[in-house]
Structure 1
Amino acid sequence: MSSRKTEPLKGLRVLVVEDQAPIALQLEDMLVESECEVVGPASRVGQALRLLSDNDVDAAVLDLNVAGELVYPVADALEARGLPYVFATGYDPSDVAGRYGHHRVLQKPFSRRVFLQAIRDTIRQD
């Protein structure tokens, strides 16, 4: 666990839930470059829930609206497992439902630096 403090992303298994392929690929690339293992990406809520139940996951990046469906069932499943996550959305951060408001919300577009720092911060808080 001490290596997680110096290299908090190395070896981390991150579920990516994003329905726009170019953005999903960009998130995946950023995570892989940081030595994470990507689970997914999932382009539908049901697919994300299946990936979550079938795989060990350490954290997640969730688009708020996935193919017209809000991602909250995935957030609930992550909460039930005590797993950290961030929202990555084109919506305003105030659009995130109140009970999820304590989670980090990255408003698209965001830089690689901002994205990776948000993941690091989220993992440290866990």
Structure 2
Amino acid sequence: MVGKSDDGRFLEGLRVLVVEDEVWIALDLEAAFVDVGAQVVGPCGTLETALVAAKNEALALAVLDIRLGTATTERVMDLLNERGIPFFFYSGQTLPDEMRKKSNGAVVMVKPAMQQDIVGKAVEVLMASSMPISPS
């Protein structure tokens, strides 16, 4: 269950997929989630690795950049929606109309943001999801 443990590890044991192709941003996201106890899957910097992870990994949440190079993460979003895995976008770009229509109202957080704000958004998205949340 999402909640603060005695040492501030809000997401203890939850598996979070990070899909980001900018190395420094990916490392920052990874550090933010590890610091609150999450197990980070990735970071995935290519569409191919992101699709494999979104299809096969046990996940509680995903954080997606809107674009990886010239490709969008629309297919990753589709897989997460099919599997009922909550996610949000963390990007410096706006969500293309077609993705917005299919995103089920997914949150778009604008880069740059502080680590605590990203983790806070992750907790909000998890709490708003109808999926039971427990460590894998």
Q: Same fold (TM over 0.5)?
A: yes
Mapped to 2, the partners of 1:117 and 1:93 lie a distance apart of 21
User: Can you give the 5+ residue segments of structure 2 that lack an aligned partner in the other structure?
Assistant: 130-136
Offset, 1:105 = 0.7
User: Can you give the 5+ residue segments of structure 1 that lack an aligned partner in the other structure?
Assistant: none
TM-score normalised by L of structure 1: 0.89
TM-score normalised by L of structure 2: 0.83
**How many equivalent pairs are there?**
124
The partner residue of 2:69 within 64, 67, 70 is 67
Q: Does the residue aligned with 1:61 lie in a helix, a strand or coil? A: strand
Range with greater deviation from structure 2 (86-95 or 49-58): 86-95
Which residue number corresponds to residue 110 of structure 1?
113
Offset, 1:89 = 0.4
Mapped to 1, the partners of 2:85 and 2:51 lie a distance apart of 14
* Residue identity opposite 1:125 in structure 2: A
Q: In 2 relative to 1, CA 60–35 (structure 1 residues): closer, same or farther, beyond 3 Å? A: same
Offset, 1:79 = 0.3
Native 8 Å contact 2:32 2:116 kept in 1: no
Mapped to 1, the partners of 2:12 and 2:42 lie a distance apart of 17
Q: Relative contact order: is structure 1 or structure 2 higher (C-alpha 8 Å, sep ≥ 6)?
A: 2
The within-5 A match list for 1:1-126 is 1=1, 4-6=2-4, 8-92=10-94, 97-100=100-103, 102-126=105-129
Native 8 Å contact 2:28 2:115 kept in 1: no
Cα offsets for 1:44-79 (capped at 9, x unmatched): 111111122332111100000012100010000000
Native 8 Å contact 1:93 1:106 kept in 2: no
Identity %: 31
Mapped to 2, the partners of 1:51 and 1:100 lie a distance apart of 19
Range with greater deviation from structure 2 (96-105 or 109-118): 96-105
Q: Which runs of 4+ in 1 moved over 2 A?
A: 4-8, 92-99
